Every structure is written in C-alpha cells, then in structure tokens.
Structure 1
Amino acid sequence: MGSQTPAAELSPPRPEVAELAPRIWQVIENAPVLTAVTHKDADGDTLGSALALAQALGPIGKSVPVLSSPPVPQAWWFLPGFERVNQQSASPDTPVFIFDASDASRAGTNEPIVTQARVVVNIDHHVSNTQFGSINLVRTDAASTGELVYDLLKAWKIHIPPEAASCLYVTILSDTGGFRHDNTSAHALRAAAELVELGADPVMMARGLFKSRPASTLRMQGRILQGLHFEFGDRLVWGSISQAALRDSGATTDQADSSIDQLNTIRGQELAILFKEAGPRLTKVSIRSRDQVDAAELAAKFGGGGHRRAAGLEVALPLKEAEARVLTEARQRMTRLA
C-alpha cells in the first residue's frame, strides 16, 4: 500500500477496518483523482475527515477536491486546509468518498455527485446509516467518522502529515464535545493522543473550537436560554430560536448548532431539544438524550437520524408547528418513562 508512517508507536486499526482497508485502497490506487464529499450543514467531523484524507493522499500524487454543500459554516475556519473546500469541482467518473452521512441526501446540493458516481465509499458512524455506498465502512462504536479515517490511514501505512493529524483530532474533539459526551471511549482518547504525537496542535484546535466564537453567538445563546421551557420535573428541556431573534443577535442559523450543548447540562435531565427556524417553512431540530430515550428513533419519526444520545432532523414546517409535532412525540416518550 502506501509508505510506512514514521513517528510514534501507533495502536493497530480496528480489525473490521483493517479487513476492509485493502478493498478501499484498490479504489484509491486505480484513480489519480478522487472526490471527497461532506454532509450538508457541515460540522467538524465531516470536514475534518474529508480534509484529512485529501491531505494524506496528496503527497502520494492523488488529487482530492473537497466538496461541501453551501453555505459552509465558517465556524470551522481554523481547520488546516479549510480554504480548499469547494475550490475545485468534481471530476467526472471519479470515485466519491462521503463522510459522516447516513444517506446520500445528506450531501445536499452534492447529492447528484454521490448518486451518479460509479464507486461510492461511504464512511460513517451513525446507527441510522442506510449502507448506500458501493463500499460501506460504518462502525457505530467509533466516536467520530474521523476515527475510522485514522484507522484506514494506519492500515494503509500512509504518512499522516501534521495538518491531517490536526483535522482528525478535531473530528474526535468536536464529536465528543471536548471529551465530555458518553461516546468518549478509550479508543477515542488513544487516537487523540496518537494524533497529537503525529503533530496535531491540541491548543490551537481547542482554541478554534471553543474559544473563537463571535460575540453574536453569545447574544443568540442568551436569547435561547431566556426562553427555555422545563417539563416533567426538568427532565425535558426545550428551547427555540427564530429568524427574527437571530437577526437581532446578528447571528446565523449555523451558529445555533452548538447551543444544544447548553441545554444538555442540567442535572437529572433526560431529553433536550432545540428548534432552529431556518426559513418560513423549514425548521431544524437538535436532540440530545441521556439514558432512556433513543434520540435517533425520535428523529427518525420525522425523517432524521443520528445516534442514540445525539440526533437531528429538519422538517418542512413553520417553527411553531414543528415544535408542536416534535414535542408531542417527545412528551409521549417522557410519559412512558414516568
């Protein structure tokens, strides 16, 4: 396969990844150009995974355009190589790698690139993944999709440059909420430590992720916190943000994405839901749960998906109507718990 990775002693890749790695390598070996596609409303996991693959394969002569359905959230400006996103278009008849997407529609405006590709390598960690690729590397035990990309690079013995290590580190840092979420495993922590040894910059990546928010984000979060609703003895917490409130705060819809983590900090809480008005008839919803409610199952009722404790959806309904419908389902589940 590739050239041996120097530097630190690295843990072996997951056996399931090592088994599939040669088949995926054949796709890469036979193609001078590949296309890396993120999911729409891109986050650190999908962007970090796509950029890391491009940065690792570049030195061995592979061209990898990174495509992301616009608008690409500027919150990820600090990722090494962020400026290359959407700088090249997809070449026809090239294999497509898509990251952190449970189905092809998650590619947004790039969905035709995925559905029309002759080979699609689907790399993901969501339980709701529909196995839509020609090759499917889906491991729900991974804290992030970037963990699986890291396992692949190790299996291929590809040199991992520092900028790729930083991107992969962010996939884990962001998807574990700074190593606070329930998906923070020994494997994730070990991978993060190895990536630092390979040149990832944990200080700058943490500063970019947690300490570089515009003031408008805090103003917007204040509006959300002021309007919180508490039900079932504070076990169900929900809030919303309208377009008018976003404008007043000087914020955009994508800046609200991380606000769900504020709702998910209450002692004894079981379910947190955040509604974000994206348009007159479009509402985005983030869901977080603790132990007893399956967030992915709740999201799936409305065409969404994700993980048991973290999921999301978007529904073609006005904000108030979306609140009513999703909360009806949420309250039913909370009532059953009681």
Structure 2
Amino acid sequence: MKFTKEITQTLQKVASLIKKSKNIVLMPHAKMDCDGMSASVALHLILNKFGKHSTTVCSDPVPEAFAFLPSSDIFSQEITAKNTKIKQFHLRVDNSDKKFKNLEYSVEDGKINIILFSEDTPFNEADFTFLGAQLKPDLIITLDSGDTDQLGKMYKDNTELFAEVPVINIDHHFSNTQFGDVNLVDYTSSSTTQLIYNLIPFLEKECTSEESTQSEEKIEKKQILDANIATLLLAGMLTDTGSFQHANTTPEALDIASILIENGAEHQKIVKHLFKTKSVQTLKIWGRVLMKLQQDTTYKIVWSQVSRNDLEETGAHSDDINDLIDELMATTPDTELVLLVKEREDDIISTSVRSSSDDVDSVAFTSIFGGGGHKQAAGFKIRERGGKSFEEIVSDIVYEAKLFQAKRLHIPLPKRGLLDIINSEKIVAVPIETESIENIVAPLMPDFPAELENITKQKNSNPVQITETAEVIEIPKIVQAEVKTETLQPVPVPEIITQEKQTISTEKVNTDLFGDPITENISELSEEEIPYAEHKESFEMPAPEKYIEKPEDEGNYDDFADFLAKADENEDVEYLTETQTADIDKPSLNPYVASKEPAEPEIISDPFLESLDK
C-alpha cells in the first residue's frame, strides 16, 4: 500500500508512541457509529496481540444494531475508575525501612499465593496497599472524532487527563480540527477502519515481541489479521462507503476489502445485519420521514424531518434513521442536496447532509452552522435553539439551503413562504380590516392555501399578531441573543369590496396600490380592458358603453375571463345600451375599494409588499 510521505511519517509516530505505552485508552466519538465503534474494538484486539493493555471507552452504549460484531461488549463508560474487564491488579508494598530479597508465588486449589521475602526487617500488613484494577492511562487514542466536543462526556470529565498524556487523533474527516499531539488524519481514506488496517504493518515493525529476546522475528501479518479483526474492519468500511456506493469508495478501499474477506471477514453477515435487517420501529420511523419528504426542484434540494414526538410514537431511536438519508440521495431524481433534520432524545437538533457530487460541497453548507464532514456527506448539530421551536429551526435550515444553492447555481434568491416570513428576521404587522388574511395574501402568494394548511398542522408555531400599529419585529437567528424592534407608520389598507355594484369615476388617478400606472381617463380604455381592471384601485364614472350580459344557459363560471371567452362564442349574446346598467351576477374579484369621496390619491410605499418582494 502506497502512502504520502506525510502520512507515512505520521503512521511511524503513532506506532512508536504505542510501543512506549503500557496503558492505552481508546475512545470513539459519542453516539458512535459503526466505523468509530469497529475501529476502536479492532485496534483493541490488535494491541492485545502485541502485549499492550488497552481500554475502550465511550460516553454512550453500543447501538443494538452493532451488537452482532465481535467483542462489541468491551466498552466502558469510565476511564480511571475500577474496571472489572481489566486483567491486572496493582499491589503496592512499602519497603522504605527494609531490604527486598525475593518474590515467589504458587497456585493451590485455584488460588494464587504471593510470597515476598525481606533480608532483614519482616513485613507487616501496614506495608501492603491494594489499588485494585485502577491504572492511570499513559496514552489516549481518539477514533473517528473530528474534534473534542464530539467525544462528549469522556472529554468534559477528563480534560486534565487529556492535558497530561499524549493524544493520538485518528480520523478521515475533512473537518477534523487536528486537536491531537499526533494527528493521523487522511481525507482520502474511506473510513477510520481503513486507517487502522494501514497501521498494522507499522505496528509490526515497531512492536516486536518483547519477550522474544533470542530472535527479533516480527509478528507475521496473518497472525494479526484474524477473522474477528477482519470482520470489524470490513464493517466500518462498508457502512462509511454505503456498501461501496458512495464517492469515497476508492481502488485502495476495494483492494483492502478483498484482503479482509480473504482473511475471514464475514461479509454476508455484515450485509444481513446492517443493510437487510430493519426492526419494526425502524420501518415505522422511516415511514414518518417519507411522509414528510419535500422537494424544491428550483433549488434542487430534498428535505425531511423527524421530531421527538415521532420517535416516541414509533418507539424508534434517532440512530434508526441514519441510513435513510443515503437512500434518499440515491433514489431522488434531479436532486443535488438532501437534508434530514432530527430532533434527538437529548434535545439536540442533528442534521445530516448529502450531496450528489463534489461540485456540491456539503462541508461548505454545514459550516454555516458550525458543522463539517466530507464534500458529499456532512452534518451539524444545533444545541441552543434561541427560543425557537423545532419546526421554526427546520424552516431556517431549509431557507439557508436554498440560499446556498441560489448562490451556487446563480439563480434568484428564494422568497420565503408565509411561515418563513413569520419566523424570519423581520415581520411586518399590517392592520387588516378583512374577514380573512387570505384576501390580502392570496393574490400575492399563489401557494397560500398549501402554506396555510402547513402552518395549521404545526401546532407549536406562534400565531401572527395582527395589531393596529405596524411594527417591524426583529427575531434573532439561532446564534443571536438580542431582539431589536423598529417602528413604522401604519400601512393603510382599503376596505374590502362588498357584493354591491361598483360605480366608476373619470377623475384622474396616478397609480394604484401596487404602484402600477392608471390611465387618466377611463373612457380611453377599450371594452376588453374594462373587465380586467381587477386588483386596481377603483374609481367612479358613468356606466361604460357596453357590457356583455351573462347568458342564462351557460352555467356558472369561476373565472370571469372564461365567461367572456364563452360569451364571445354565443351568438345569442345581447349587448346593453349606453343607458342600461350592467347586471352581472359574478361579484368583483377586486379586494380593495376606494373612498366614497374620491380624491387625488397619494403614492403609497407598502413595506409589507416590499418585504415579500425581497
């Protein structure tokens, strides 16, 4: 196997430090995945073969899905406390006032007798202290962890130990912070377990059998790479490459997988347990995710979410959906970015991100939230909500994803939906004198009914407060703590039209509420233009020369324009005279009316509409 000069030197440093150490602590990240867990156990078994004592620790238990792997039960949740799995004990003898001569032991009836001899002064009970199986570590090796925060409680409770003893950081993530004294970080490696495989020949060179003083023969590789170690290493590689489907699958990874299978790795057993076996709870939570799946073809993103309530109702764990995002990325067409947002049991919001190619850098997006990973597989965690609900944070994350894609694809920036406007940094509260907000929003937002239905389903979202004073309320982002306000003048909104007939005036009008120019004289409008004056500020004038009467035999038409088209095709249409008044059953669609005493209107700047345009 060929390595770069830098990686080769680092592998040698790691092997040298291991050789000098006697009590080594192996530590994957909290909420360990298969790669971190398998790398830790495999290295533990390898070190045992070199006569090195090691302890594997993690702040969280091994996920049930990985329990089938060899020696998966060796993890402890403490570093320096008494550990019943340690096969050593520490007996301290005080010989400050006596001269030690010899030590002997014998085995009788399944018991070991330890005998100490002194040349002069005899021993007494006060000279002996039993320290149990507590050994102070002299080396810490972290595996598959991008930074110390990912180690969780193991780091927080042992910061002094991390400062006292050397730390080896073994990882393959691009976002690794290089926090170790020695950093074996290879971004080109498919997994951390692949790095452990690469370490074996360097350990063979450094850690020869210290008991074999007559011959300096190295331990043969076939003695190290047994079936259990090979199975662990292959399991980590399979999960991190998506069964060799992801872009991090390299020729080297496939070569190593072949060697591992030759040495007894149980490939089919791994595939069965990790890829083909799903619990009922897992299937239920997958169903929830698929039901909530959404797609935006403009920005080429797909996203879904899982709340803590979903987990409780299905009896599933947040780890049960870790593999689902890869399925979504592989099976969703015309998608460049997939997001899966999880509200975990510990109240942390965790987001997994996948991209379709290296051109869509997942790390660049997740770094907005302080996350990291690989170009095509990354993630981030949100620990402080800033008072926002889970649904509001999901909305923020999706909006940031759209912004990210808009800038990358050089397309218009996204406009937020009604829920996004409510949760955005600025909310304009407009005095509304209508029966329903639909009368204002519907003409401006075609997807309003769907947005309204979506908001209704989200029980935890805060209702919009409609007041008679227009205010701009600053809502902090996730990382902000301040709340700012800015007061604007109230925005006048015309009265809603009633079912009564309109009258029209010839008085000069400059612009309507939307800022569109209005002709100075209505008589300049053609017959066809008059019925289409919807959403314009109304005015008064004598009845127009002609209106088309609605035929009695043509039924009801929801669209007035459709009615006109049908009427043109009907030969029996009667045209009203100048003196007649149009009697149209269809009420006007115009949601606004002018004052009863029309005057020269002022040009109105509407911040609510301007905020939507932005």
Verify same fold: TM over 0.5: yes
Conserved? CA contact 2:329–2:354, under 8 Å:
yes
Change in CA separation of 1:244 and 1:153 when aligned onto 2, cut-off 3 Å: same
- Identify the residue that residue 236 of structure 1 maps to in structure 2: 301
Q: Which moved more, 1:256-265 or 1:164-173?
A: 256-265
2:297–2:335 Cα contact (<8 Å) kept: no
What residue is the counterpart of 1:299 in the other structure?
A: 366
Deviation at 1:111, TM superposition (A): 1.2
Distance 2:13 2:31 in 1: 30
Q: 1:181 to 1:13 in 2, by over 3 A?
A: same
More displaced 10-residue stretch of structure 1: 294-303 or 227-236 = 227-236
Structure 1 unaligned residues grouped into runs of 5+: 1-10
**1:172 partner SS:** helix
- Match of 1:102, SS? coil
The Cα offsets for residues 315-336 of structure 1, whole Å up to 9 and x where unpaired, read as 0224223212221221012212
Which has more radius of gyration?
A: 2
Distance 1:263 1:32 in 2: 46
Q: How does 1:1-338 map to 2 (within 5 A)?
A: 11=1, 16-86=6-76, 89-90=79-80, 91-112=135-156, 113=158, 115-157=162-204, 159-233=224-298, 235-265=300-330, 266-279=332-345, 281-291=347-357, 292-316=359-383, 317=385, 318-336=389-407, 337=409, 338=411
Consecutive unaligned residues of structure 2, counting only runs of 5 or more, are 81-134, 205-220, 412-614
Structure with larger RCO (C-alpha < 8 A, sep 6+): 1
Once the two structures are superposed, residues 69-92 of structure 1 have per-residue CA deviations (whole angstroms, 9 ceiling, x without a partner) of 214322211221111122773443
Percent identity over the alignment is 31
Q: Which residue identity is paired with 1:95? A: L
The answer as to whether partners of 1:13 and 1:154 remain within 8 angstroms in 2 is: no
Deviations along 1:51-72, whole A, 9 cap, x unmatched?
1100111122112111122143
Question: What SS does the aligned partner of 1:149 have?
Answer: helix
Rounded to whole Å, the distance in 2 between the matches of 1:180 and 1:224 is 22
Please state which structure has a larger fraction of its residues in helix: 1
For each residue in 1:97-121, what CA deviation from the matched residue of structure 2 results, as whole angstroms up to 9, or x when unmatched? 1011111111011114463351000
- Cα distance, 1:222 vs. partner? 0.7
Q: Is the 8 A contact 1:14 1:151 kept in 2?
A: no
Using a 3 Å threshold, how does the CA distance of structure 1 residues 327 and 131 change in structure 2: closer, same or farther?
Answer: same
Q: 1:98·1:122 contact (CA, 8 Å) conserved in 2?
A: yes
Q: CA deviation at 1:29?
A: 1.3
Report which stretch shifted further, 292-301 or 132-141.
292-301
Query: Offset of 1:280 from its aligned partner?
Result: 8.0
Which whole-Å CA distance do the structure 2 matches of 1:92 and 1:217 have between them?
A: 41
The amino acid across from 2:337 in the alignment is: L
In 1, Cα distance between equivalents of 2:38 and 2:393:
31
In the alignment, the residues of structure 2 paired with residue 183 and residue 315 of structure 1 have an alpha-carbon distance, to the nearest angstrom, of: 26
2:5, 2:265 → 1: CA distance? 25
What is the DSSP-based 3-state SS (H/G/I as helix, E as strand, rest coil) of the residue aligned with 1:105? Answer: helix
Contact 1:295 1:309 in 2 (8 A): yes
Whole-angstrom CA distance in 1 between matches of 2:3 and 2:45: 19
The question of whether the paired residues in 2 share the 8 Å contact of 1:65 and 1:87 is answered with: no
Do 1:12 and 1:154's aligned partners in 2 also have CA atoms closer than 8 Å? no
What do you get for the CA RMSD once the two structures are aligned? 1.9
